[in-house]
């Protein structure tokens, strides 16, 4: 009998140890599961500078600069692979982060004799056949595509911001519009010849420097008798949009309208591959500016609003400029989601991380409801829906949102979550007003409203939401739903919906990098010098709540071990009684 009890004691100890080991390794039960692949539609420019943070962000693409005058500095036989390190490309591939390369900057030996003497010069021999060795641009683009395709780079942007005129800050290409089209056409032919999988993107356009540039460029394309049979010699229109989220709908819409007006059908995909509102009022990195005074909270709000509106306007991909700035001095403009000195994360990092988390896997089209006082942008996944909401002006607003499930998860722009329930079929939510410094640039802090288990029900099947003016201030962060709702005798605002292109944007790979300091983008709106106001102090950033979960299989094994011990104990008692 004593021997049996000793054996039982040993088994109990083993069961306890087994349970503790399982509890200490909650991920073990998931070893057989494949990690989720990042949604390729959300990008962060130059992620290679902070690859771990890019993985934490879950960025699906990045952009890297491939400077011609760095790769072939002294002649066509040069090949400097240290300009774009292969380690960066290997790491991007390992993290399923697609790379998009920018091809620009003519080396001195390749300048056209009639072009200005700078990196903006038109390459010599540009109008020669692409097979002619004296077409230096054709030779370079063919070599760069052939070399980097096996390393996973299949997306190429042809130059950068060609719509900025000479003698204007940010000017990058000295040729005419016809020269730029020839630059694109030659690159398309030479790159596709060695990499049929390649995707050719037009250089990012700023819009505000010349709102008619894209339309006029497309007219040049359509006038080429070779264009139609060669898919018009490009695959993607690329846009750079800054500071005002609501201008995103205008600029993306213009890209589709311009294609329709010139008869380009079906339309090409549109990428917003640079967008941000750089903070000038970061207490840890203050910047003196004459316009666009932005605090840390506003930058975070911008990330959510601009991304949601871009996708609702038909853009297939969105990328933030940029993950982190490098090689800049204190006081210089810092655009990054991460600070350049100590790599600490700004609130905008967490806001973009929450945006990617809550919107990944969505289906096109995205439905936008634009009211006088607020926005509701509706994203649908299979069996679930996410609505992104924010107030448009300084005045807070309470909204009544139709429910499609018995409960919802409400998250603020930093990803702090709360479970809420509808009342009489509606969620009642408070949207805080925005903050304005000299001018109002964006809306207030956004909210994510997420419901699951809605089946095939479409958000468009639900009745329109209702805005109710709020007379008392609403907290700017972590808003919570009001417990009760009293209908007011106010007219229901009518939502304005903008036509969205009917094509389905094609998820494409992209990337770009450069070890050389990147030029700071000029504001997408034409700068107007104004008197600088007093410097405001940015409020302290809210720290996102970090949540953790444990695998339910752990509890299963612990309970199973306990059950085994109990069964063994009953068996021993039974045997003892039988022996007596």
Please list the alpha-helical segments (H only) found in 67-210: 68-71, 86-94, 136-148, 177-194
Listed residue (240, 256, 317) closest to 524, CA to CA: 240
**Multiple choice CATH, 42-359, 3.40.50.300, 3.20.20.80, 3.30.70.330, 3.90.180.10:** 3.20.20.80
CATH-assigned architecture of domain 372-469:
Sandwich (2.60)
The angle formed by the CA atoms of residues 575, 576 and 580, to the nearest 5 degrees, is 115
pLDDT score recorded for residue 416? 98
What is the CA 64 to chain-centroid distance, rounded?
A: 15
Provide the 8-state DSSP code for 424.
T
pTM for the full model?
A: 0.79
The angle formed by the CA atoms of residues 224, 226 and 232, to the nearest 5 degrees, is 80
- Point out which residues pair with 338 in neighbouring strands: 324, 345
* Residues of the chain predicted below pLDDT 50: 1-8, 10-33, 463, 470-565, 567-580
The domains of the chain are located at 42-359, 372-469
Q: How far apart are CA 394 and CA 446, in angstroms?
A: 13
Contact yes or no for 550/26 (Cβ under 8 A): yes
Listed residue (505, 355, 525, 510) closest to 45, CA to CA: 510
Tokens for 572? Answer: 């021993």
pLDDT in tens, 32-71: 445 689 999 999 999 999 999 999 999 999 999 999 999 9
pLDDT score recorded for residue 580? 43
pLDDT score recorded for residue 143? 98
Tokens for 512? Answer: 């770009």
Contact yes or no for 200/156 (Cβ under 8 A): yes
Q: Residue 196, class by beta-carbon neighbours within 10 Å (0-12 exposed, 13-18 middle, 19+ buried)?
A: exposed
């Amino acid at each position: 009998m004593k021997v049996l009890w000793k054996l039982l004691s040993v088994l109990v100890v083993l069961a306890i140890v087994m349970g503790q080991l399982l509890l200490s390794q909650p991920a073990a039960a998931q070893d057989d599961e494949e990690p989720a692949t990042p949604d390729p539609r959300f990008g962060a420019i130059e992620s290679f500078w902070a690859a771990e943070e890019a993985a934490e962000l879950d960025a699906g693409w990045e952009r890297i600069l491939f400077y011609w005058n760095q790769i072939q500095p002294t002649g066509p036989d040069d090949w400097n692979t240290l300009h774009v390190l292969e380690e960066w490309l290997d790491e991007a591939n390992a993290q399923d982060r697609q790379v998009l390369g920018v091809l620009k900057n003519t080396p001195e030996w390749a300048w056209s004799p009639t072009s200005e003497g700078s990196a903006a010069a038109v390459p010599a021999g540009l109008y020669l056949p692409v097979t002619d060795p004296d077409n230096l641009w054709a030779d370079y683009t063919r070599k760069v595509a052939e070399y980097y395709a096996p390393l996973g780079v299949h997306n190429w942007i042809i130059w950068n911001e060609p719509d900025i005129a000479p003698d204007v800050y940010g000017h990058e290409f000295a040729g005419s519009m016809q020269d730029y089209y020839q630059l694109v056409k030659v690159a398309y032919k030479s790159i596709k010849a060695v990499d049929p999988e390649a995707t050719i993107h037009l250089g990012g356009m700023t819009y505000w420097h010349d709102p008619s540039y894209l339309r006029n460029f497309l007219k040049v394309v359509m006038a080429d008798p070779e264009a139609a049979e060669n898919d018009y010699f490009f695959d993607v229109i690329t846009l750079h949009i800054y500071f005002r989220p609501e201008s995103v709908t205008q600029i993306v819409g213009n890209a589709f309208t311009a294609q329709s007006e010139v008869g380009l059908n079906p339309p090409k995909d549109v990428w917003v591959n640079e967008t941000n509102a750089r903070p000038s009022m970061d207490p840890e990195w203050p910047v003196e500016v004459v316009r666009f005074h932005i605090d840390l909270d506003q930058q975070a709000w911008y990330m959510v609003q601009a991304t949601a509106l871009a996708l609702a306007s038909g853009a297939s991909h969105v990328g933030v400029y940029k993950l982190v700035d490098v090689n800049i001095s204190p006081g210089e403009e810092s655009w990054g989601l991460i600070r350049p000195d100590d790599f600490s994360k700004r609130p905008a990092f967490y806001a973009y991380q929450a945006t990617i988390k809550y919107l990944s896997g969505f289906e096109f089209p995205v439905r936008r409801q634009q009211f006088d006082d607020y926005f509701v942008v509706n994203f649908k996944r299979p069996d679930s829906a996410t609505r992104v909401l924010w107030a448009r002006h300084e005045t807070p607003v309470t909204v009544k949102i139709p429910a499609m499930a018995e409960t919802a998860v409400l998250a603020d722009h930093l990803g702090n979550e709360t479970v809420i329930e509808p009342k009489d079929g509606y969620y009642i939510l408070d949207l805080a007003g925005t903050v304005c410094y000299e001018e109002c640039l964006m809306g207030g802090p956004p909210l994510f409203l997420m419901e699951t288990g809605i089946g095939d029900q479409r958000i468009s099947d639900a009745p329109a939401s209702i805005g109710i003016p709020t007379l008392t201030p609403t907290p700017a962060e972590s808003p919570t739903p009001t417990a009760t709702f009293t209908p007011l005798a106010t007219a229901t605002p009518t939502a304005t919906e903008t036509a969205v292109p009917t094509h389905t944007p094609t998820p494409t790979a992209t990337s770009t990098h450069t070890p050389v300091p990147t030029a700071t983008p000029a504001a997408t709106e034409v700068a107007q010098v104004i008197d600088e106001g007093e410097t405001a102090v940015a409020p302290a950033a809210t720290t996102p709540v970090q949540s953790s979960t444990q695998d339910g299989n752990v509890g299963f094994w612990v309970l199973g071990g306990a059950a085994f011990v109990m069964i063994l104990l009953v068996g021993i008692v039974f045997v003892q009684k039988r022996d007596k």
